[in-house]
Every structure is written in C-alpha cells, then in structure tokens.
Structure 1
Amino acid sequence: MKPSKHPDLGTTLEQSRSGLRDNHRRSLTRLLFLVTATALTVFAGLQLLNGYPWVAAAELCASGLLFYGVRCLQTTHRLQQWIYAYLVSLFSFFIVIMLLPEASIAAFVWVLLMPVLAYLLLGKHEGMILSLPFMLVGGVVYYFFLGDVGSAHRMIDLLNMILCGGLMQVFMHMYEVRREEAEQRLVDMAQTDALTGLANRANFQSTLARTIAECERSATGFAFVIMDIDHFKLVNDTLGHDAGDFVLRRIARCLTERLRATDFVGRLGGEEFGLILRDAKPADAFELMDELRERIAGSEVAYGNAGIRVTASFGIAQWPDHGREAETLFCVADRCLYSGKRAGRNRVAPAGACELTTATGSVSGGIG
C-alpha cells in the first residue's frame, strides 16, 4: 500500500482555526504585519506633526515589533499567540485613536474591520468572542463622540454605525457557519466511500499511517486485516450489480456493528475491506475475525425473491511483528488472504502460520 500523497483532510480540518489552513494564515498574518508596520510608521510621522508625540512613539514601537514579527512568523510554532497579540493590540489601538480629543470621524470606520480580521484569522467561535466586545466598545465610544444625539442628523449617524457594525458581525458569523458546513461536507465526501458509507481507501491509508505513528510513540501494537468477499463476481454476474451493491452495504453494516469503538474499517476497493484492530494481540485478532467470518457465512441476505449467502476470507498481519511500515503490513496481510483463498476460502489466515488451522465452512460465494 503506497502512502497517500494527500494529507489527512479530517485532521487538517480539525487543526484549522478558520477557513484558512495554518500555512495560509501564516502568510496572511505576515502580510498584515508588514502592511500595518509600514502604515504605523507613516502615521507616527503624521501624529508627531499633529502634536501627539506619545502616540507617535507608541506607533513607532509597535511598528518595530511588527517588523520583527514578520521574521519570526516564518518559523514560529506560536502562530496563534502572535495572531491574538496582533488583533488585541490592533483593536485596542483603534479604540485609543477614537478616544483622542481631535479624532477624525473616519477613525470609526476601522470598527467595521474588526469582525473581518477576527473571523478570518480565528474562525467562527474565537472570532466572535474577540470581535464582539471590541465592536460594542467602539459603538459606545462613537455614541459619546457624536455628543447630543437628539437631532435627526446625529441619530442617523449613530444608527448607520450600529446597523453597519451589526450587519458586518452577523454576515461574517453566518458566512463562517455556512463555510464550515460546506467544508465538512466536502471532507466527508472526500473521505467516505459513497456506496457503503465506510472510510474510502485514501482515508484508510491516512488512518493506518496515523495509527502506526501513535503506536510508535505509545509502544503498543495493532492488527491489520484485509478482508475479501469470496466469489463476489458470481453475485454480480447472476443477480446484477445492484444485488452486489446491496451485499456490500450489508457486509459494511455487519463490520461496523461487530467491531469495537477503537477499531477502524474502510473499503479498499471492489469487494475488499481493510480493518485496523487497536491493541489487539494476535490471538484476540484471530478470534474476532473468525467470529466475524462465521457471522457473515451464517447470514442470508434477502434481495427481492432471492436469498444470497456469501463468505469472506481474511488475512491478518501484526504490527510491529510483521512489519513497521504500512506497505509491508499490506503485503503480508495480502499474502495471507490469498493463501487462505487458495486453501479453500472462508478462512482466517494469520501471518506466520505455516498451515491455516481455522475451521473451513462450505465453499460458498454462491447464491442460496
């Protein structure tokens, strides 16, 4: 089994804080740092000319820190802390600028940028938690900035700011909610076998690689199993592919009902399935698969007026006894599987066994 060329989408989604992956958030944050630092340098000169040297000094200090951050963000593992520090400082700076005695009314436009940056860099939950308090404070400051709001003109200005700010907050939140739902659907489609609802091959490969890495760290083992339905082509040729699809769905349900919560199963393709049995010793894995074999062989799938009986063969490899790499485990389990098939099918074939000792049922795969 070749390792997947694509990262585990589910894990990537869980680790992402927003619609941007960490590498994209890192690039965007560096760009924001650079633009903000350059702008603060310019504003510092203007504040100095306006007679606010303390504001100019603060802006120059912040500019220097941001230029330093542009370098650090290339390799830092504390991306989230840098983003929080940037947004809290930036939003606080917006409030301070609004509180200046000679503040321009244009300064309050920056309030509308708060939810955009917060949701973009932090995602739905954290973006709302950070941006909402700052926007409320900005609205209060704007209220006092207007002074007497008894006149219709002042009231229109206040309502415009409240309406725009509120709509910006709501729209960003709704966008993030819908984006997360759409992204989750795409991930589910990319990782799920459409016919059986099990994990597809790419998802199974990613899970196997992750299981190997986790077991390397914890010094535990697991069993890797390949299962193949015997004489499955006979079902398709006799009753049609719809019947074959129906059988595959029933087998998938049987697997998920019998396996433990810690186990993992996926459809590798066609009538072949893969299973990962966490913390299963060889004897336990053999017993579980033999029980599953008997359950499949002993059940009849009702399809229309026909009763379909199928059997399955299993090949088992143990990590790390039979290999430490995914490809090695796959090869060992695959050889065991086809050894069982050559010996009569409807068998569980563990690696390392010179002779297959499991009980053999009727050579089936037929239709009853």
Structure 2
Amino acid sequence: MSEGLESSQQHKRLVLKVLLWTTVAGGVVFAGLNVGRGIWLLAAGECVFVLFVLLVLRIVDRTTHFTLVTVAYLIPFFTLMVLALLLPRTSFTVFAWIQMIPIICYLLLGLRGGFWMSVVFVSLGVAAFSYRYSGEEYLLSLMMLANIWISSMAITMFSHIYERSRLANEARLIELASTDNLTGLANRMKLSEVLERERSHALRDNKPLSLVMLDVDFFKRVNDQFGHNGGDRALCHLAEVLRSRLRDTDLLCRLGGEEFAVLLPGATLEQAAELANDLRRHLAAHPLDIESTQQIMTFSAGVATLGEDGQSLDELMQTADRRMYEAKGAGRDQVVAAGQQYPLTAPVLQTP
C-alpha cells in the first residue's frame, strides 16, 4: 500500500514538472510578445516568474515538502493570469488559462486543497473578466458573463466530482488489495502496513508489541470429510469466533491457507500467550455446525514479541512460526512462547 501512495506522489511530481516546463516555454513566448506590444508590467512579471519556475524545477524531484512547493508555484502563477485579464491591451483569450485552474488544482493538490484554490482563483478570474470586458450593450454583456460564470463553475464542479470519485475508488481498491476475499480479514499486506505503524508507536512510547501465529489443527481432515466448501466454512467460522474475542486495536489476519496471525499492540509476550490460550479455548468451546454435525476446531500457535524476538515483520513471523511448529510437534492444540520447551518431532512429517 505504501508503494501505491509513493506511486501517486511520483505521478503528481511528473504532472508538476510538465506544468513547470510548459510555464517556462509559455512565459518566454508571452514575455516576448508583451514586450513587443509594450505591456511592460506583465512582461516583467512573466520574466521574474520564469526564473522562479526554473528554481522550482531544480528541487521538485527531491523536495520533501511537495505540497508547499506546489502552492508556492500556483499562487503567483494564477495571480499573473488574473493580472493579465485586468491590464489594458491584453487578450481576452487569457481566460482560457483561468478555466484550466480547477483541473490543475485537483491534479496537484487533491480534493480539499484543489477545491479552495479553485474557488478563490476561478472567482477572481471571472470577476476580473467581468470587470474588464463588460460592455455597454446590457443583454449582450449579461449573456457573455453568464456563459463565463456558468462554464467556469461547471468545470470546477466536474473536477471536484471526478477527484472525489477517484479517491473513493482508490480507497476501495486499497481495501480490496489488503483484505482476504474469503474471510474478510486483513491479509499479509495489511499486516505489514499496520505492524510498521504500530512498531513506530511502540518504540516511541516504549510499549510492548506482540505477534501470534496460529495454524488450524488437522485442517486437511475437514477438507477431506466436507469438501472445499466445508473447509471454507471452517475458516470463516474461525475468523468470526476469534474476532469476537479481540479488541478493536488488535488485528486478526489470514496469511493463507489455514494459517492466521494476530497483531497485539500493547501486549507483552506473557499477555499475548494468555490471549492466544483464551482464543484457543474459546474456539474449541464453539464448534462448527456442518452437515448436521458439530466439528470441534483447535489450533496450534506461536508467540513472538518486538525486541527480543526481532524488529521486523519477517523476524517476528519467523520466530512465531518456529514456535507454532513446536506446538504442533508437541501434540497440537497449544500455545508456545519463549522459555517453553517440548520434545519436538520434525514438522515436515506432520500432516496438518
């Protein structure tokens, strides 16, 4: 998910770079034309702005304050457009750039920033056009100004609606990408994202963070006896039962197959082991009703904690996974945490 957000940021940087180079080319051309027509104030403003844009181009790829740089560029850019509409002897075709403002703003600033920047400068641009080009023929002027106002507001609204729909679709795609289709639980990608966030909080606030990995015992027997549909029902049943015993801050994930993980912010190794044991007992006390029979489900689990068992998701999962197989080797239906020892058999010889 973080890669997707980074990709979105890179897209905005590319859009801004294209706009910056367009501004440089346009600024040079129009500055020359305005010098030729004697519009010195506007030509001077365009020359100064071109120099400023060239400086922005030097930092746009590496700045960590992208939004601030973008706003610093857009405000003088749009102000020059409004000024060009107010000055005598300039062409009314400058207004074409005013109607580009909503598209530019929403592309670079997103929903909220794009909305306010668009409302302010489109309103100023339309007001400047109305002041400059309203004529003596009242009805003709009224018709022209109505067209300008309505078309400008329509472009702003269309841009806003499109950006809102795009953000909603993006959020939905991210949700789908981070959710297990069968159980509705978070998947490994979501686990990785949440663990990184909770790890930062734990290190900053000096609080514990633990991870439980669990694997359904003898799940192959369920599949053999009730088919894959029965196996799917069993996994969904487990997800529902375990989720009902967890806090809102805990994260239950399906990693794949019959393997699950539980991220427990604020839980020490001992607390996580106790909770895993409680979940194990709770699951066994709520058998699965399937084909007029009650199928008791159990799991084997291993526990790891941030710090002594690792710092990254991979390290914590490796430790918790090893302990989970210790639990399986010791007879299944139990939880293994640090300090617990069992006479182990090779996990590869066990058929889950």
Give the TM-score, by structure 1 length.
Answer: 0.87
Please state how far the C-alpha of 1:261 moved relative to its aligned partner.
2.4
Matched with 1:275 is: 262
Please state how far the C-alpha of 1:189 moved relative to its aligned partner.
1.3
**Residue range with higher mean Cα deviation, 31-40 or 293-302:** 31-40
1:170 aligns with 2:164: no
| Aligned amino acid, residue 70 of structure 1 | L
Matched with 2:190 is: 203
Please state how far the C-alpha of 1:149 moved relative to its aligned partner.
6.5
**Residue range with higher mean Cα deviation, 263-272 or 40-49:** 40-49
Matched with 2:346 is: none
Distance in 2 (CA, whole Å) between partners of 1:183 and 1:331 is: 32
User: For 1:270-318, what per-residue CA distance to the aligned partner results, in whole angstroms no more than 9, with x for missing partners?
Assistant: 1110111112112211111111111001112223523221111111112
| Aligned amino acid, residue 285 of structure 1 | A
Change over 3 Å in CA distance of 1:282–1:226 after alignment to 2: same
Alignment check: 8 A CA contact 1:333 1:351 kept: no
Matched with 2:348 is: none
Matched with 2:247 is: 260
| Aligned amino acid, residue 220 of structure 2 | K
1:125 aligns with 2:119: no
Alignment check: 8 A CA contact 1:95 1:138 kept: yes
Residue pairs, 1:29-44, within 5 angstroms:
29-44=16-31
**Residue range with higher mean Cα deviation, 311-320 or 190-199:** 311-320
Please state how far the C-alpha of 1:213 moved relative to its aligned partner.
4.6
Matched with 1:362 is: none
Matched with 2:293 is: 306
Structure 2 stretches lacking a partner, 5+ long: 344-351
Give the secondary structure class of the aligned counterpart of 2:332: coil
Matched with 1:244 is: 231
Please state how far the C-alpha of 1:347 moved relative to its aligned partner.
0.3
Please state how far the C-alpha of 1:324 moved relative to its aligned partner.
2.5
User: For 1:140-159, what per-residue CA distance to the aligned partner results, in whole angstroms no more than 9, with x for missing partners?
Assistant: 22222232375544333223
Give the secondary structure class of the aligned counterpart of 1:299: coil
**Residue range with higher mean Cα deviation, 246-255 or 94-103:** 246-255
Distance in 1 (CA, whole Å) between partners of 2:157 and 2:97 is: 17
| Aligned amino acid, residue 246 of structure 1 | R
Alignment check: 8 A CA contact 1:30 1:69 kept: no
Distance in 2 (CA, whole Å) between partners of 1:181 and 1:77 is: 26
Please state how far the C-alpha of 1:327 moved relative to its aligned partner.
2.5
Give the secondary structure class of the aligned counterpart of 2:244: helix
Give the secondary structure class of the aligned counterpart of 2:182: coil
User: For 1:199-245, what per-residue CA distance to the aligned partner results, in whole angstroms no more than 9, with x for missing partners?
Assistant: 11222233334444544444433111111111111111111222221
Structure 1 stretches lacking a partner, 5+ long: 1-6, 357-364
Q: Percent identity?
A: 32
Please state how far the C-alpha of 1:99 moved relative to its aligned partner.
0.4
Distance in 1 (CA, whole Å) between partners of 2:190 and 2:134 is: 60
Alignment check: 8 A CA contact 2:219 2:231 kept: yes
Matched with 1:158 is: 145
CA RMSD of the aligned region, Å?
2.1
Please state how far the C-alpha of 1:258 moved relative to its aligned partner.
1.5
| Aligned amino acid, residue 298 of structure 2 | T
User: For 1:51-84, what per-residue CA distance to the aligned partner results, in whole angstroms no more than 9, with x for missing partners?
Assistant: 2223222221111111111001121112111111
Matched with 2:347 is: none
1:320 aligns with 2:314: no
**Residue range with higher mean Cα deviation, 87-96 or 143-152:** 143-152
Residue pairs, 1:74-153, within 5 angstroms:
74-148=61-135, 150-153=137-140
Matched with 1:3 is: none
Give the secondary structure class of the aligned counterpart of 1:258: coil
Matched with 1:338 is: 325
Distance in 2 (CA, whole Å) between partners of 1:269 and 1:169 is: 45
Distance in 1 (CA, whole Å) between partners of 2:40 and 2:157 is: 38
User: For 1:95-144, what per-residue CA distance to the aligned partner results, in whole angstroms no more than 9, with x for missing partners?
Assistant: 11000122311111111101010011011121011101211222222222
Matched with 2:45 is: 58
Give the TM-score, by structure 2 length.
Answer: 0.91
Q: Alignment partner for residue 329 of structure 1, among 313, 316, 323?
A: 316
Q: Which runs of structure 1 show a deviation greater than 6 angstroms over 4 or more consecutive aligned residues?
A: none
Q: Alignment partner for residue 67 of structure 1, among 40, 51, 54?
A: 54
Aligned length in residues: 344
Q: Which has the higher contact order (CA 8 A, sep 6+)?
A: 1
Matched with 1:4 is: none
